[in-house]
Structure 1
Amino acid sequence: MKRIAVIGDYNPKEESHCRILDSIKDISEESEVELEVQWIMSDELDTSAEHLKSFDGFWFSPGSPYRNAKNVLTTMQFARENGIPSLGTCAGFQHMVVEFARNVLGLYGADTEENNEECSDAVIARLPCSLVYKKEQLKISNPDSIMAQSIGIDRFVGEYRCNYGFNEAYHSIFLNSNMIAAIAQNEDGYTRGFEVKGHPFFVGTLFIPQLDFKGDGSYRIIRSYLNAVLFGCGVEIP
């Protein structure tokens, strides 16, 4: 049986947390496959390679700041470097950006403003306009990417619960990296998600696809993620 670790600080009153479990259960039952799901609090996470390699997928949940961001970033790096399918939503996306900036782009002081207001490279910054309980039209830059093939439409709606997002001052350095397969962006060109090239599935989204429960838009990304966990390829489960 395949095992997924959901990493984050679980709050049963948080809709985006409950919907993670609902969406995994819904898709696995619909597809008649079994998945073992373990939610691990960030400050209780064992980041040893022996422990992390026992999982077939990671989902980095909303809910920042994490109690132990270092544990989360270590796990993200392990998953990215070892080809373990991973999905990061909201805070998960934010920390995927930080991990990528530090360990791929060489911005060793990168962090989120929420974690460290004095960091040298605030790749995640407070948004000029809050996206809490907001929605917007999005598109994906590369039609051949896993994200685009998962959703299967040119534009879709993303829903948010966040005050922090990608710092567009770093747009060029991220987009010029040969490890970025695609980005999701709004109509003004602001980055709302990204996908790592050459990986079975390593996708971070500021929008929260699990809120599109059983929907026809961003929820399809979850299907694609679970397909990568089960079968090693990021295409939608029929």
Structure 2
Amino acid sequence: MAKKRETKYIFVTGGVLSSLGKGIAAASIATLLKNAGLKVSILKADPYINVDPGTMSPLEHGEVFVTDDGAETDLDLGHYERFLDESLSQNNNFTTGRVYSSVIEKERRGDYLGKTIQVIPHIVNEIVERIKKAGEGNDVLIVEIGGTVGDIEGLPFLEAIRAMRVELDKHHTMNVHLTLVPYIKAAGELKTKPTQHSVGELRRIGITPDMIICRSEMPLNRELKDKIAASCGVEKNCVIESYDSASIYQIPLLFLKQDILTPISEVLNLGELKVDMSNWDRLVKRVIAPTKEVKIAFVGKYVDLKESYKSLTEGLIHAGANLDTKVDIKWCDSERIDSENVEDTLKDVDGILVAGGFGSRGVDGKMQAIKFARERKIPYLGICLGMQLCVIEFARNVLGLKDANSIEFNENCKDPVIYLIDTFIDTNGKKQIRTYQSPLGGTMRLGAYDCNVKENSLLSTVYNGAKKIKERHRHRYEANPKYREELEKQGLLVSGESNGLIEVVELKDHPFFLGVQFHPEFTSRLTSPNPAILGFIDASLKHAR
């Protein structure tokens, strides 16, 4: 029998304030360890009480990232997948809400034999069990603890990693603390005091960091790094700088330049670690200094909050890097687009992208953009709602069905070319597809599904002749097959299907017009961009020429 793999854990905490980039730091360390030949995974533990971000507003939380198995997770999981080039699952993200729900369910079932349920040990033990489960089968598990040290909601998570440090020997856990070293313009100095206070807060909890990653606007000099090492009780080679960079994909290279793997290997007893990041370095150079440029109109309703489209904007960067092209995004608020100004808004772009979303706000502007792309033969990519709207636009303006609509916007419309997923029920009363019933009453289609590709189609060309592809979904509405024959007769062809559902439509006699029901951005990575996005940028580049 093969010896069971002993997992080692790197816990990443944050101090001073949020949004410093713990997720990027964690993903960067994971990328280096993976490229050193280790089996690595990452876990995000979020202290908020929501069970998951699925019902949270994009204005509150940014993007909801969806995994292959249909989990709605924190957007940091997107960073993890994009850096690691691996698919994660619901085991790689959990929240305080999920932990408490599980413990309460166990208590109701009698699993605790009538004992008083407390934060210590029951909540903490549940957190530890979830961390260990995520680590199974890996050499190293990176665990990012959400929030900031000192937050009251994060205390059970910090207690859990403290307990694991006590339980496991010294070569099985490592604490990495990311903190801010602010530049005070009036004094003309970088200040270390916030870092010292943050580490002091950690120590009061019983956790001593093994490594400190310093976020700053600029590089730190040797004297400053030595001061942080001395005042915070870490080795000099364990103070790593992470200053503002042109691209987040530079961070693994920045860490490698500082020889971050040597102290990590020493603490975790991993032996000599050799890394080849030459391909990554080549792509990053293309991200920072590409030789070509293309302008893409990004039409959406959250353009003032770009975190809502994080995976998609990163997907455009990935495609650009692989085509040695800078993707210049022109953000277009769909609520401000109408028939009078659509030409002025879009006349200078090489491609038009309409992103996914829920609700009727901004829909008319999106359809004006779609019509403009269709009639002017500008490369177009519609994602999820962007696919549904191109069906509605075509039905209204080409088929002449003036009342064509989605029942999301008008339940009583005469021609529901887009309708609810609940409609897909076979004669036995069983649903043909896997769905998730939201507590709010909505049925969602979540996670990865196979899609059969029509031969000799644009979709087939984009996916290099593949007959079947697999992409991720997050939506409630589907294109109505009742209108398929009429749509195809007039030139809007169905080129992708899944269990009878219309997954992809494309326009005949157009250089590039693709509407996909799935979210291609969720599977795009720097080293392997999603084919649909790559094909769109390539077509836009040809249009620019």
Identify the TM-score tier after normalising by the shorter chain. 0.7 to 0.9
1:70 aligned to 2:364?
A: yes
Larger radius of gyration: 2
For residues 208 and 44 of structure 1, do their structure 2 counterparts lie closer, same or farther at Cα, with a shift above 3 Å needed?
same
Q: Match of 1:199, SS?
A: coil
| Partner Cα distance (1:31, 1:140) in 2 | 25
Aligned residue in 1 for 2:460: 148
Q: What do the CA deviations read for 1:134-166 (whole angstroms, capped 9, x no partner)?
A: 32111122x212110111211011211100111
* Shift in Å, 1:56: 1.1
1:132 aligned to 2:445?
A: yes
1:169 aligned to 2:482?
A: yes
Aligned residues: 228
* Partner amino acid, structure 2, of 1:76: I
**8 A Cα contact 1:156 1:217, kept in partner:** no
What TM-score do the two structures reach when normalised by structure 1? 0.88
Q: What do the CA deviations read for 1:100-135 (whole angstroms, capped 9, x no partner)?
A: 111111111101111111211110001025443232
**8 A Cα contact 2:318 2:526, kept in partner:** no
**8 A Cα contact 2:295 2:328, kept in partner:** yes
1:20 aligned to 2:333?
A: no
Aligned residue in 2 for 1:43: 335
**8 A Cα contact 2:453 2:469, kept in partner:** no
What TM-score do the two structures reach when normalised by structure 2? 0.40
| Partner Cα distance (2:404, 2:469) in 1 | 30
* Partner amino acid, structure 1, of 2:334: S
* Partner amino acid, structure 2, of 1:81: E
Aligned residue in 2 for 1:195: 506
* Shift in Å, 1:200: 1.0
| Partner Cα distance (1:38, 1:118) in 2 | 36
* Partner amino acid, structure 1, of 2:536: Y
**8 A Cα contact 1:124 1:165, kept in partner:** yes
**8 A Cα contact 2:297 2:330, kept in partner:** yes
**8 A Cα contact 1:181 1:196, kept in partner:** yes
**8 A Cα contact 1:9 1:66, kept in partner:** no
Q: What do the CA deviations read for 1:33-71 (whole angstroms, capped 9, x no partner)?
A: 122102222113363323321111111001122422111
For residues 131 and 219 of structure 1, do their structure 2 counterparts lie closer, same or farther at Cα, with a shift above 3 Å needed?
farther
Deviates more, 1:3-12 or 1:40-49: 40-49
Aligned residue in 1 for 2:522: 211
| Partner Cα distance (1:12, 1:4) in 2 | 15
| Partner Cα distance (1:144, 1:210) in 2 | 24
Structure 1 runs (4+) deviating above 6 angstroms are: 215-218
**8 A Cα contact 1:6 1:58, kept in partner:** yes
Q: Answer 1 or 2: higher relative contact order, Cα 8 Å, separation at least 6.
A: 1
**8 A Cα contact 1:151 1:218, kept in partner:** no
**8 A Cα contact 1:42 1:66, kept in partner:** no
| Partner Cα distance (2:307, 2:332) in 1 | 17
Q: Match of 2:371, SS?
A: helix
**8 A Cα contact 1:8 1:66, kept in partner:** no
For residues 202 and 136 of structure 1, do their structure 2 counterparts lie closer, same or farther at Cα, with a shift above 3 Å needed?
same
Aligned residue in 2 for 1:221: 532
For residues 203 and 229 of structure 1, do their structure 2 counterparts lie closer, same or farther at Cα, with a shift above 3 Å needed?
same
Structure 1: gaps spanning 5 or more residues: 234-238
* Shift in Å, 1:232: 3.4
Structure 2: gaps spanning 5 or more residues: 1-292, 423-434, 436-442
* RMSD of aligned alpha carbons: 2.2
Q: What do the CA deviations read for 1:58-103 (whole angstroms, capped 9, x no partner)?
A: 1100112242211111111111000010100011011011001111
Aligned residue in 2 for 1:94: 388
Determine which structure has the larger helix proportion and give its number. 2
